[in-house]
Amino acid sequence: MTEFKYTVKETDRELSIKELLSRNFGFSGRFMTKLKQNRLIFLNGENMPGWVTPEPGDVITVTTPDETSDFPPEDIPVSVVYEDNDLLVINKQPGVVVHPTKGKPYHTMANGIMKKMLDEGESYKIRFVNRLDMNTSGLLIVAKNSHAQDNLTKQMKSDHIQKKYKAIVDGVIAEDSGTIDLPLGRPDPDEVERWVLPVEDGGYPSVTHYRVLERYPAHTLVELQLETGRTHQIRVHLSYCGHPIIGDHLYCNGDPFEYRRIHGDPRPPLDGTKGPRMETNPEIVSPYIDRQALHAFSLTFTHPVTGEILHLEAPLPEDMEKAIEKIR
């Protein structure tokens, strides 16, 4: 539970409690409604509706409502990078889905975080601010209350959250840095894959900046910064440019739709029925690593309550370190 406190100033005359909370803490209308419903707004220690106009020197106090999630707790490791009353930032391991879905209802990070929360005697609703693919490792933000979620979502939409990744790709990238500006879309609505698609055909503007960190005989370690955050954006952009991420079973052959047309598709079916996928388990497509070598290593954003600039990093995971040793 987080407490917000504000002392009314002389210049605040004629402003209501609701207006002062919105101005000073950036509370959304939805969050204000929750505060009202739960009677969590106090003026000088006394419960008070938001329309009341306080006097200079009065103290407004707000506490966030008690909430919890109902995911079944599971013993899944949770590597904490940062935590306080409003936020939890973890370093997600590869091979674990972030949030339960119809096809993956259990064994997710949400289940692991639920166990952590119960073990530590905490109670909050698990709200993921960003997402990572199952086989992408790295930093994941969880908001512990709706105010933190609203604030961080606004930062995300206005590109005020800086996200950086590291990837090992096939081939040697000649340029030290550059920008990939290509719209992405879903050519086949029945398939999960994305590809470069003109805006007029349903593609969305997508921009990825890259910087070479290290070159090897036949591979490159790159740093990537997202300007937009489309599904599979980094994976598709790099593959389209001829440098697919090693271990990426979806995009290792370039355009997955063209590859399927020419060769059929040896990947396992998405739901057991669709597509010309013929074999059962050839998802390991690299001799160096058994998943896409992509890691979300850096996040920079403004704390939704304190206003502090947070810069968080997660080290390269062991499987990517070992892949680099083999590649060298």
Contact 296, 136 (CB under 8 A): yes
Cα distances from 79 to residues 88, 92, 295, 298, in angstroms, run 10, 7, 15, 15
Residue 184 — φ and ψ, nearest 5°?
-120, 150
Cα distances from 289 to residues 139, 283, 324, in angstroms, run 20, 11, 10
H or E element in which residue 24 lies: helix 17-25
Contact 297, 139 (CB under 8 A): yes
How deeply is 284 buried, as exposed, middle or buried, from its count of CB atoms within 10 A (0-12, 13-18, 19+)? Answer: exposed
Q: Tell me which residue of 26, 306, 300, 315 sits closest to 141, measured CA to CA.
A: 300
Q: Tell me which residue of 173, 291, 282, 176 sits closest to 237, measured CA to CA.
A: 173
Residues 6+ apart with CB under 8 A from 189: none
Buried-state track 220-229, b at ≥16 Cβ within 10 A, e below 16: bbbbbbbbee
Q: Tell me which residue of 209, 256, 221 sits closest to 236, measured CA to CA.
A: 256
Told to judge if 188 belongs to the known catalytic residues of this protein, a careful annotator would answer: no
* Cβ neighbour number for residue 55 with a 10 Å cutoff: 11
Q: Which of 133, 170, 248, 265 is catalytic?
A: 133
Buried-state track 163-178, b at ≥16 Cβ within 10 A, e below 16: bbbbbbbbeebeeeee
- Residues annotated catalytic, as ranges: 133
